[in-house]
Chain A
Amino acid sequence: MPPKASDDDPEKARRFREAALPHLDDAYTLARYLLRNAADAEDAVQECYLRAFRHFDSYRGPAMKPWLFAILRNVCRAEYARRATTPTSAIEDVPESAEQTPLWHEAPETPEAQLQRHWDSDTIRRLVAALAEPFRETFVLREIQNLSYREIAEVADVPVGTVMSRLARARAMLRSAWLAEEEQQK
């Protein structure tokens, strides 16, 4: 049995339901991309909603989605930490230096190699899932969740400049992977 949320206030629960439950699919989507595992994503989203409910009194708006995402991200980070201590750790760590690598190493040198193919959703999901954290996180928040740079900065707790460089790197890496996929399919 899941733990009951401690705060037994039906009116608060009603307001919380109306404000937070409409974002359940989005939260689950983010957790799937962050954790790359359906069962862990379910656990993380459930934990996120219970925490969010407990802290709902401190929620001042305006946007519910980034607020939920910030909580969800913290839950997911705790899950990374747990995985890191287990021998079967599957999460690769990105060295700090990766964020400083110049972008143009990623981009193809020939402009003629133009991206053309529209992949099915499974292929795109696989390509996005292959991105290293934290580029995957930034990319998903922007491209799939449609958050603004400022909202992403709040969720990920980094400056907007970092959001911009991560997004640039993420898109450059995805573009390379995308073009490589096209090359394979030829």
Chain B
Amino acid sequence: MTCDEAEVLLHALIDGELDAGHAREVESHIAGCPRCAAAIRDYREMGKAIAEAGVGYTAPAALRQRIEAALPQPRQAPDRRAVLRGFAMGSAVSALAATGLVAIVLRQNDFERIQSEVVSAHLRSLQAGHLTDVVSTDQHTVKPWFNGKLDVSPPVIDLTAQGFTLIGGRLDYVDARAIGAVVYKRRQHVINLFVSQTSSTERRAAKIETIQGFNIRHWSDRGLNYWAVSDLAKDELADFGERFESAMRAAG
């Protein structure tokens, strides 16, 4: 390999873009060429220095606000009004049936909206550097922290032995209400377990869905709604949920 070729290809080597065969060729050229060896050493130093210095920029808050303002604003359950308008405009359906139908439509809509709000809350928790309000791997510290802050304190269960490390708790807002989030980690993946009260005490079996690239496992038990959100694979998140549920049952 000539220096001219190596001058270009050594960058692909630095950037991990070179296949194994060419990587070996470039490396053997560098081993015998002090000039190219000096170049690749300098480029690596430069890359390291740039990464360490942090040379990105932060978008001004005003820019973020202007973009937000230019986008259509989220409306409160837009379909609700559309449905009501439909009935108001001379539907033959009796008032009673209409009420029932609206309730069904609303529940469906609310469910989807809350589900997407939960994913947004998960995203916010990852971005803002505001993952936890109380940092502790001890359930006996996290659990009391929620007391008095919420109508219902979420159950806090230590699943470290099962491979899910408790790292803390946080107050979040979903559906315009304060909601407790218990935060777990598996390897580098964060799991937010959102818990809220529900009027229904019936047990609803778990369902896993994918929203915006995140997996979300939802279930209800003993008057509580649970949403576990993570970028973990579906089977691992399912495993988390099952272990949590069985630990809850064991706790009585």
Which A residues contact B (CB, under 8 angstroms)?
2-5, 7-10, 12-19, 21-22, 24-29, 32, 41-42, 45-46, 49-50, 53, 102-104, 107, 111, 114-121, 124-125, 128, 142-144, 148-149, 164-165, 167-168, 171-172, 174-175, 178-179
18 contacting pairs across A/B (C-beta < 8 A): A2-B69, A10-B75, A18-B120, A19-B212, A28-B59, A42-B63, A46-B66, A49-B70, A50-B67, A50-B70, A107-B7, A115-B42, A116-B45, A124-B53, A128-B55, A149-B12, A168-B7, A178-B46
The interface residues of chain A, by DSSP majority, are classed as helix
- The minimal Cβ–Cβ distance linking B17 to chain A, given in whole angstroms, is 5
Interface status of B153 (Cβ within 8 A of chain A): no
Please give, as numbers and ranges, the residues of chain B lying within 8 Å of A25 by CB-CB distance: 56-59
For the side of the interface on B, what is the size category?
35 or more
Q: CA A178 – CA B120 in complex, angstroms?
A: 43
Contact partners of A3 in chain B: CB under 8 A: 70
Report the minimal beta-carbon distance from B23 to chain A, rounded to whole angstroms.
14
Q: Is B104 an interface residue (CB 8 A)?
A: no
Answer whether residue B100 sits at the interface, using C-beta atoms and an 8 A cutoff. Answer: no
Asked if B50 is at the interface of the complex by the 8 Å CB criterion, the answer is yes
Q: B residues within 8 A CB of A26?
A: 56
Chain B residue numbers with a CB within 8 Å of A7 are: 72
* Known A10-B73, A13-B73; contact A46-B11, beta-carbon cutoff 8 A: no
Q: Which residue of A lies closest to B71 (CB)?
A: A13
For residue B78, CB closer than 8 A to chain A, the reply is yes
CB < 8 Å: which of A28, A53, A128 contacts B71? Answer: A53
- Supply 18 further A-B pairs (C-beta < 8 A) apart from A22-B123, A102-B4: A3-B70, A5-B72, A8-B72, A13-B74, A24-B67, A25-B56, A25-B57, A25-B59, A26-B56, A28-B58, A107-B7, A111-B35, A111-B37, A124-B50, A149-B12, A165-B8, A171-B11, A175-B39
Could you tell me if B11 and A164 are in contact, using CB atoms closer than 8 angstroms? Answer: yes
- A125: chain B residues within 8 A (beta carbon): 55
Smallest CB separation, A143 vs chain B (Å): 6
- Docked-complex contact B11 and A168, CB < 8 angstroms: yes
Q: Is residue B90 contacting chain A, with contact meaning CB distance below 8 A?
A: no
A103-B7, A114-B38, A118-B49 known; A17 vs B71 contact (CB < 8 Å)? yes
Q: A22-B127, A28-B57, A104-B3 are in contact. Are A13 and B43 (CB under 8 A)?
A: no
* A98 vs B93: C-alpha distance when bound (angstroms): 75
Contact B71 A175 (CB under 8 A): no
Q: Are A15 and B212 touching (Cβ within 8 A)?
A: yes
Contact A32 B42 (CB under 8 A): no
The answer, yes or no, to whether B204 is at the interface (CB within 8 Å) is: no
Q: Is the CB of A114 within 8 A of B41?
A: yes
Residues of A within 8 A of B64 (CB): 21, 24
Q: Bound complex: CA of A111 vs CA of B35, how far in Å?
A: 6
With a CB–CB cut-off of 8 A, which chain B residues contact A142?
Answer: 15
Within the assembled complex, what's the spacing in Å between the Cα atoms of A86 and B234? 56
Shortest distance in angstroms between B105's beta carbon and chain A's nearest beta carbon? 16
| A18 and B119 contact, CB distance less than 8 A | yes
The smallest beta-carbon distance between A20 and chain B, in angstroms, is: 9
CB-CB under 8 A from B86, the residues of chain A are: none
Interchain CA distance A19-B119 in the complex, whole Å = 12
A56 to B55, CA, bound (A): 29
Do A9 and B72 contact each other (CB < 8 Å), given the known contacts A27-B59, A143-B47, A164-B8? yes
Q: Contacts A10-B72, A24-B63, A114-B41 given; indicate if A168 touches B8 (C-beta within 8 A).
A: yes
The 3 A-B pairs with the shortest beta carbon distances in the complex, nearest first, are A111-B38, A28-B59, A115-B42
**Least CB distance, B43 to chain A, in whole angstroms:** 5
B116 sits at the interface (CB 8 A):
yes
A118→B53 contact, CB < 8 A: yes
Known contacts A10-B72, A119-B53; decide if A171 and B60 are in contact (CB<8 Å): no
Question: In angstroms, how far is the closest chain B Cβ from the Cβ of A53?
Answer: 6
Contacts of A175 in B (CB 8 A): 39, 42-43, 46
